[in-house]
Every structure is written in C-alpha cells, then in structure tokens.
Amino acid sequence: MQEKLHSYQVLMLLYMIQIGVGIFSIPRLTAEAFGTNGWSGILIVSIILFINILLIGLVFHFGKGRTIFQLMNDVLPKFISRPLYVCLALLFSALAVIIARDFELLILMLYYPTMPKSVFILITLFISYWLVRGGIVHIGKFAVIFFSTILIAFLLGFHIPEFEFKRLSPFFFEGEKDLLRSGLRVAFAFLGYELSLLFVPYMAKNQSLIKPLVYAHLLLSFIYLVTCFIAFGFFSFNQLLNDMFPVITMLEYVEFPFMERTENFVTHLFIGEILITIVSFYWGADQFLRQAMPNISPRISIASLLLLSFGFSFFVQIARSVEEWLFILRSMELIVAILLPLLLLFLMWIIKLRHKDKVVKPGQG
C-alpha cells in the first residue's frame, strides 16, 4: 500500500518550503518597505496573503478530492493546458536553482570565500534527484527531521534583555519607504504555499489539507513578526537599513559555553531548510512536466529539469544578477499563487454548469 501524507507532515513541509534565506534579512526588508515600526507590516502582508490561502482552501473544499490536473484537463484543451504545464515546470525549476544560488552566495561570502562556485548547487541537484524520485511523502519525512530548526527562532529570545522600547519610534510607517519593491520582497518570504495544490492525491484518508495550510501560514507569520519586533528593538532604525542580514548579526551576540560562534552553526543548520524548499519546487516542476508529457519517463523528466536549471544557473552568478532574477521569478510565482486558485474555481464552476445541463436535458426529452 502506497504511503500517504498526514496533516502534521504537510504543516511541517509547507512551513519549511516557505521559510528560507529571507528570514535573515526580513527585518531590513520590512524597514525598507514600511519605514519606522516596519515590523507591523508583517501583519498587513500576512493578512493579504491569508486571503489568497483561503482561495486555495476553497479549491480543496469544492474540489472534493479531484486533482488540479483532473480539473484543468476536463475543461481546457491540450493546446492550452500542456504549454501552461511546461511554463510552470520551467518557472519552478528555475526558481529552485536560483534559491540554491542565492544561499550559495551567502555561505561563500560569510564562510567559504575560496570554495568554487556551483559546488553547493551540484550537491543540491544530486540530493534533489534522489528525493524527487522518492516522491512527496519521502520529502515530507525529510522535512520532519529538519523541522527542529524552528528552535532557531527562539535563540533570538536571548536578546530580550538588550531590547529597548526607545529604539521603537512612536510613529508608524514614517521615513523613506520602498513600498513596492521591498514590500513585494516581504511578500515573497511567505510564498511556497501554492505547492499545496499538488498535494491532493497524496493525502491520507480523512486528513485535511486546509488546516495545515492555515496553521503553517500562521506559524510562519508569528516567527517573522517576533523576529522583526526583536530586531527593531535591538537595532536602531538606521542600523537595520544598513545591515544586509540583521538576524545573523543578532545571532553573533548569542553565546553558549559549548559553542563559540552561534551564527555559524545556525546558518549551516539552515541548509536543511533550504534543501526542502529547493527539492519541493523541483518536485512541483516534475509534476507539471509529466502532465505536459505523459509518456516521458520519471527519471528523464526530473533529470531534464535539473540539467536545464543547472545550465540556467551559469548565466546567474553574481549577487546583483541573482537578486534581479529572484525578484522576477518570485513575482511570477506570486502571480501564479493568486491566479491558479482563481482559475481552478472558475473551471469547477464550468464543470458544475455542464453537469446541470446533462441532468436537465434528459428530463426535457
């Protein structure tokens, strides 16, 4: 009997897909986007994206166990659905390799300046092939192991004695703001939940997808909110704006008698989180490509995506280029996260109308 996903696995998996390198810079991004007391902007972004998550919940509710591919193939002609699947496969695989490149540049800058580029990406691609071939349940088990990294957030609690309310301005959303670009980058730190649309056929019987989706979002929002609030009380506003990774800087001040540099340990432990994100996007890309090409071998499908994305990574090697491509791809991902559930709800409405017509016509005869 094939193993299935349970709700607790989905919660952990979604949380780990969504969180990533962005948590190291999220306090700075909120300061850039919303100005003084920018930490409260997390609540605004979270509520807006929660509406999007509720739309996905409606897809699960009205879909009644049907997969997104069953819904789309039932209404859309192949000349529309298959190119769409290919585009989504290319988007998710490109996003996966850019996330890998982004984290690689981080560890190269901080810890391994002499390490050749693309070594981390090659290791990641090898692990991705192994995990994607194992399936989403295999990835879910891997996520449970690394979910313990959530304890990292509690390390910031050591800064509570250094927290000063006078560093928090009495004014909200004052000062220069880059609401559009930095605000979008704050929103990007929540993305990844749209992959849950692909989990339907892999859920265990009587297991809900809606609850873990909501709980994962609330957990992530809480972690981001606490992290940003502590950072705004630990740094001055100008210090936040000038620190690329304020969370790593805060971790430098955390000391244990059995550990010299806490930030090194945390950053390396975060590799597990990044791997889950990368592998999950490759898995999603593989699902779409196999629907676009039903006769393709599963091994060839994932191998081709890994090779194509690895080739793409050679054109994106410097930090500025990575930042620009990450912004472009994340923007496209946000559009997909918003439009895909709306499309699916529209298709379900069409299917319902068709069903009514079939019921009415025999009676008319």
Average pLDDT, integer, range 227-248: 88
- pLDDT given at position 365: 45
> Burial level of 84, CB count in 10 A (0-12/13-18/19+)?
middle
Which of these ranges, 52-66, 98-112, 151-165, 256-270, has the smallest mean pLDDT?
Answer: 151-165
> Burial level of 284, CB count in 10 A (0-12/13-18/19+)?
buried
Average pLDDT, integer, range 329-334: 96
- Residue 293: strand, helix, or coil: coil
> Domains plus CATH for the chain?
7-315+323-355 (1.20.1740.10)
- pLDDT given at position 153: 66
Residue 360 has pLDDT above 70, yes or no: no
- Within 13 Å and on the Cβ side, how many CA atoms surround 53? 22
Q: For the chain, where are the alpha helices, taking DSSP H only?
A: 7-18, 22-34, 41-63, 68-75, 78-110, 119-134, 136-146, 152-155, 181-188, 210-234, 237-242, 246-251, 262-269, 271-292, 298-313, 319-364
CA–CA gap between residue 8 and residue 223 (Å, rounded): 18
One DSSP character per residue, 96-112 reads HHHHHHHHHHHHHHHT-
Phi, psi of 227 (to 5 degrees): -60, -45
Instruction: Residue 160: count other Cβ atoms within 10 Å of its Cβ.
Output: 10
- Within 13 Å and on the Cβ side, how many CA atoms surround 136? 27
Let me know the angle formed at the C-alpha of 50 by 45 and 56, rounded to the nearest 5 degrees: 140
Instruction: Residue 130: count other Cβ atoms within 10 Å of its Cβ.
Output: 12
CB–CB of 106/326 below 8 Å?
A: no
Q: What is the pLDDT of residues 141-179, one digit of tens each?
A: 888 777 766 666 667 666 666 777 777 777 777 777 788
When pLDDT is cut at 50, 70 and 90, the band that residue 73 belongs to is very high
Average pLDDT, integer, range 244-262: 78
Q: What percent of the chain has pLDDT over 70?
A: 92
Instruction: Extract the tokens encoding 358.
Output: 């079939």
Average pLDDT, integer, range 20-26: 87
Let me know the angle formed at the C-alpha of 12 by 10 and 18, rounded to the nearest 5 degrees: 95
- pLDDT given at position 264: 79
CA–CA gap between residue 16 and residue 143 (Å, rounded): 7
CA–CA gap between residue 340 and residue 357 (Å, rounded): 26
Instruction: Extract the tokens encoding 305.
Output: 């995506």
- pLDDT given at position 20: 81
- pLDDT given at position 112: 86
CA-nearest of 10, 28, 15 to 273 is 15
Average pLDDT, integer, range 43-71: 93
Residue 265 has pLDDT above 50, yes or no: yes
- Residue 259: strand, helix, or coil: strand
CB–CB of 283/132 below 8 Å?
A: yes
Instruction: Extract the tokens encoding 169.
Output: 């301005």
- pLDDT given at position 151: 64
- pLDDT given at position 362: 56
- pLDDT given at position 148: 61
